[in-house]
Structure 1
Amino acid sequence: MTPYAARTRPRSPTMPESASTPAVQGSTTDRLVDLALRGAIGAAMAMPYPRRVAFFGGVARRVAGPLAGYRRRALENLALVRPDWPEAERRNVAEGALDNFGRTLIENYSWRELGTRLATTPLTGGGLPHLEEARARGRPVLFLTGHFGNHEAPRHVLTRLGCRVGGLYREMSNPYVNAHYAATMAEVSGPAFPKGRRGTLGFVRHLAGGGMATILFDLHDWDGVPIPFLGRPALTATTAADLALRYDALLLPYWGIRQPDGLSFDTVLEEPIPHGTPLAMMEEATRRLEARVAAHPGQWFWVHRRWKGAPPQ
């Protein structure tokens, strides 16, 4: 889930008004990073949408990614799990991941225009009949996805179809960036809740009341269980499975798969993950994500420290 901090509606294609005076405190470095990001976003927002998205992909690939150490970390992760790939192939995938990251970031700041482009995008996959049945019964629905393609694209389509989708998210470490990035996502769909005691309580109440919500499950979690991901153990939270079992929620993976034009998406709602043990459910969720990464390796965010702290293979 993307960060969320305010209910102020941003006015695309400019920065949200609430971002101008964030009630947050951070370091001088945080402030400088935020100012640089604002400058890049401001320049991009003055461009036509297709050029804007391509421009920000290039910024992430050529400038921000290398300077922030993202390219190096992506290459290290690729060498860890794909040592059999030629170095040129790993570099190509890392470049694709940075490009996708930049495109996704500016798309989510441009959420009105992204929604317009998705206005005729169908929701495919075997999960739609199950979703409709759950809606008719008032059964809670928990969507599951990862940092792959643009994870907000399916939420736009679901919102167009009449769903109100909330979510649980992990706040960014830079409070200034978190404040305005969060505000851009405030009005896309349903409420979102920061990870933590109060946020999780609100999320649980939303779900228990028959609501719909999303969890991104592909982040490292020190309290998680080791589950093989791309051939290496990765500590994975069982939160999604625990909640689905506790509240009898339908657990549906979805994906926003970027197409070759770099601007459009396939939005796929997969068959539900059957209820079982939390471990078995998250193993199945991980296999679903692995299949997507295998088909489109450059669309997963290889920058995450996904395999830290896991037991040896």
Structure 2
Amino acid sequence: MIPPFPLSSDPPPPGAPAQARPPDDHPVDDRSASVDPPDARPSDPQPDPLRGGRQAAPPPPEPDSPPPPDKKIRFKDRATLFGLNLLMWLPYERRVRLAGWVGRTIMTRSSSIRPRIRAAVLHLFPDLPEAEVARICTSVPENLARSAVELVSGQDFYAHAAQTPISGPGWDALQEARRAGRPALLLIAHFGNFGAVGAALKARGFRVGAFYNPLPDPATNRFYTQSLSLLSDPLFPSGREGVAKMLRHLRGGGMVAISNDLDRPHGVMLDFLGKPARTVLSMAEMALKYDALLVPVYGIRREDGLHFDITIDTPVPHGDPAEMTQVLNDSLGRMVTLHKEQWLWWHRRWKDGHPADAEENEG
């Protein structure tokens, strides 16, 4: 399945214990961008048996190179790519509407998504009327499916979203940062569709980089990244090399979009929608280190399911990293409260076993 939100990786805070990080998380340290690994030095030249001279030694194999895909992966890759190309034959609006139908009818009946959404919504809003809970449980998969198809629609989605009006209290500050060459960190979330924001900003001359998680199937990943590159440029694959490239981009006055609405083991306990949730401080710490503008941005889907309202929220004043991150949580919390059907409720933002859960039980 094509993930609907490519921008789901957040770099961990400096000093986070290594054993507490997921494999793709790395400390925010720009030294990794300029230090070569020990085996990067050129080897001594070796004799060329055919020419009698000396030639450079072949580069050593990369230890982290993935093995060639097996037959099952190749078949899945080709089948997925065939399905994507077939889908692209449909007119843009028809394919997005078809995705919405699949999301609200098939996805909600054939998976565990609906009960997980219901449990999460009632955890935060226990007094919500049953009819509203049912509407959210149906609408969230619909938004997910629409977003997935939009993000792989490449030029069609870009042309559709590029002229979307941009507003909000932080829009002037973001434009000023671009004029001044000041770095900027744009908080995104698994909400609405950030791709619409990326298209609208790129059409206005902004260059906003973004993290993405590469897909395991090579051909499908090429299709996916070609579409994403029309919305965000440059793209930084998750991992150490991606972090290093992102930091160089940021140091040079670039803009980067990063999400922080997932549970992370190295996060600190902050309030989110009235409940304690582990939240990384990476964005605030990078904003302080590089004197970057820190601003939440949202692509809010309209009721017609096809168009968006783009909001640039109030920039976060620099100060204590935890307090800055709490402001980010509060901004997203307001948006989720207003548009509950547009946030991915099933990714377990509040997991069992949190220290805060134990404290609540003891209380």
Question: TM-score scaled to structure 1, two decimals?
Answer: 0.85
**Is 1:223 the equivalent of 2:266?**
yes
Structure-2 change in CA distance of 1:42 and 1:83 (3 Å)? farther
Q: Match for 1:54: what amino acid?
A: R
Structure-2 change in CA distance of 1:262 and 1:162 (3 Å)? same
Q: Match for 2:139: what amino acid?
A: G
In the aligned structure 2, how far is the partner of 1:272 from the partner of 1:258? 22
In the aligned structure 2, how far is the partner of 1:87 from the partner of 1:32? 43
In the aligned structure 1, how far is the partner of 2:242 from the partner of 2:88? 31
Deviation at 1:63, TM superposition (A): 2.1
Q: Among residues 234, 255, 258, which one is paired with 2:277 in the alignment? A: 234
* Residue-by-residue CA offset, 1:124-182 (whole Å, 9 max, x unaligned): 1121221222122211011111111111111111101101100223456x556655433
Match of 1:16 in 2: none
In the aligned structure 2, how far is the partner of 1:292 from the partner of 1:27? 44
Aligned length: 294
Q: Is the 8 A contact 1:258 1:265 kept in 2?
A: yes
Deviation at 1:40, TM superposition (A): 5.1
Q: Is the 8 A contact 1:143 1:215 kept in 2?
A: yes
Match of 2:236 in 1: 193
In the aligned structure 2, how far is the partner of 1:279 from the partner of 1:27? 48
Structure-2 change in CA distance of 1:136 and 1:297 (3 Å)? same
* Residue-by-residue CA offset, 1:38-86 (whole Å, 9 max, x unaligned): 5654443222111110111121222234434222221221232222223
Q: Is the 8 A contact 2:162 2:202 kept in 1?
A: no
Q: Which structure has the larger Rg?
A: 2
Query: Mean alpha-carbon deviation: is it higher for 123-132 or for 272-281?
Result: 123-132
Q: Is the 8 A contact 1:44 1:55 kept in 2?
A: no
Structure-2 change in CA distance of 1:240 and 1:170 (3 Å)? farther
Match of 2:354 in 1: 310
Q: Match for 2:134: what amino acid?
A: R
Q: How does 1:31-50 map to 2 (within 5 A)?
A: 38=81, 41-50=84-93
Deviation at 1:294, TM superposition (A): 1.0
Query: What is the SS of the residue equivalent to 1:188?
Result: coil
Runs of 4+ off more than 6 Å: 30-33
Aligned CA RMSD, in angstroms, stands at 2.6
In the aligned structure 1, how far is the partner of 2:311 from the partner of 2:322? 24
* Residue-by-residue CA offset, 1:234-269 (whole Å, 9 max, x unaligned): 211111111101100001111001111110111111
Match of 1:136 in 2: 179
* Residue-by-residue CA offset, 1:286-313 (whole Å, 9 max, x unaligned): 1111111111110111121211153314
Match of 1:10 in 2: none
**Is 1:88 the equivalent of 2:131?**
yes
**Is 1:2 the equivalent of 2:6?**
yes
In the aligned structure 2, how far is the partner of 1:291 from the partner of 1:63? 30
Unaligned ranges ≥5, structure 1: 5-21
In the aligned structure 2, how far is the partner of 1:162 from the partner of 1:116? 15
Deviation at 1:33, TM superposition (A): 6.9
Query: What is the SS of the residue equivalent to 1:144?
Result: strand
Match of 1:112 in 2: 155
In the aligned structure 1, how far is the partner of 2:283 from the partner of 2:85? 36
Match of 1:155 in 2: 198
Question: TM-score scaled to structure 2, two decimals?
Answer: 0.74
Deviation at 1:278, TM superposition (A): 1.1
Q: Is the 8 A contact 2:184 2:292 kept in 1?
A: yes
Q: Is the 8 A contact 2:158 2:230 kept in 1?
A: no
Q: Is the 8 A contact 2:152 2:223 kept in 1?
A: no
Q: Match for 1:114: what amino acid?
A: F
Deviation at 1:201, TM superposition (A): 1.4
In the aligned structure 2, how far is the partner of 1:63 from the partner of 1:150? 21
Q: Is the 8 A contact 2:270 2:278 kept in 1?
A: yes
